[in-house]
Structures are given as C-alpha cells and as structure tokens.
Structure 1
Amino acid sequence: MKDTTEMQQAVKIYKALGEPTRLKIALLLKEESDQCCCVLGEKLNSVAISTLSHHLKKMAESGLLTFRKEGTFIYYSLDVEAAEKYAPFLIK
C-alpha cells in the first residue's frame, strides 16, 4: 500500500484534473511549457482570466504545475515528473 503522503498527493492531482478546463490547461502545457496566464487565456478563449488564474493556482497547489515569476507575470509549466507518476495519460 502507498504511504499516506503519496496518496494525498494523488488525490490532489486527480481532483485538479477532474475539472475539464484544468485538463485542457494541462494538455496545453504538455505541448508548450512556460506559458503565462494571458497566453493560456487566448488559447482557452472561453475562460475569463480571473477564472483561469484560479484554475492555475489550484493546479500548482496540487503539485501538477511548476511556475516561475518574472516581474508581474507568472509562467506555468507541467511538472512532468508528477504527471508521469500520477497521470501518465497526459504525457502520451
């Protein structure tokens, strides 16, 4: 049986991916990493920037995304190691 920490991490990631917009974000970031919220917003034109920011925050908190700050912008990437471990279908 997996340890409790690993199970909790898996639950967080599965919850994050359980929302269709978040799954789309993960798939977009798989194709092209290091994207800011505004670029992702253009690609997901039906999502308000404030809603997108909320989704990105939840995904980062789950451990599925990494991010870096540059000035006032935050650039997001898919954490490939976490995706391979908990959601390998994202990497295929």
Structure 2
Amino acid sequence: MNVNDEMAVKVYKAIGEPTRLQLVKKLASEPQMACMEITDQLDIHSNSTLTYHLKILIDCGLLVVRKEGTYRYYSLQRDVLEKYAPTLIPD
C-alpha cells in the first residue's frame, strides 16, 4: 500500500464516525472554531470526548490547530478534504 492509499484509509476511517463527520461538516462552513464553539454547536458534553475526536482528525491531516494564549482554534485542511471527500465542502 502506498502513502496516498494509507492517507485515504486514515481520512475515511476518521470521517466514517458520525460525530467526526458532523465536526468536519461544521468546520467546512466555518473558517475556524474554538473548543467551546464546537462543544456548544455539536452538543458534545465531555472535553475528553471532544479531544479524542479532534486528535483523530488532526492525525489524519484533516484538521490543524492554532494556539492563541490558552485557546485552541481548529480549522480544516481544505486541500485534504477536497482530495478525499469533496462532497463535504459546501457550495
């Protein structure tokens, strides 16, 4: 299996889970979101649950994190999403 195939498997496994798919769809329509925004909008009640899902999306290359003080802002790597799941990008 080549590197592109391995990346595709990681991305599809990541977005194959309903919560992570919702998260990716939400971030596809926002330039970036902080943790509090994500938990409020996706009704995630546990920080550890959110951290778990975010880590998987970061590890597969779909998300990047930007730290600003004590806040972390998450945004999509649009080029990765366009390559592996272009139908998730809103028109």
Candidates 37, 40, 49, aligned match of 1:39: 37
Structure-to-structure mapping, 1:1-92, within 5 angstroms: 4-92=2-90
Deviation at 1:66, TM superposition (A): 1.4
Counterpart AA for 1:13: V
Secondary structure of 1:25's counterpart equals: helix
Same amino acid, percent of matched pairs: 46
Asked if the contact 2:64/2:74 (under 8 Å) is kept, the reply is: yes
Q: Which runs of 5+ in 2 are unaligned?
A: none
Asked if the contact 1:38/1:49 (under 8 Å) is kept, the reply is: no
| Structure 1 pair 18–58 and aligned structure 2 pair: CA distance change class (3 A) | same
- Which ranges of 4 or more aligned residues in structure 1 deviate by more than 3 Å? none
CA distance in 2 between counterparts of 1:6 and 1:84 reads 14
Asked if the contact 1:9/1:62 (under 8 Å) is kept, the reply is: yes
TM-score, normalised with respect to structure 2: 0.91
CA distance in 1 between counterparts of 2:23 and 2:73 reads 13
Aligned residues: 90
Asked if the contact 2:44/2:50 (under 8 Å) is kept, the reply is: no
Give deviations 1:37-86, integer Å, cap 9, x for gaps: 11100001144222011101110110011111111221111111000001
CA distance in 2 between counterparts of 1:76 and 1:35 reads 5
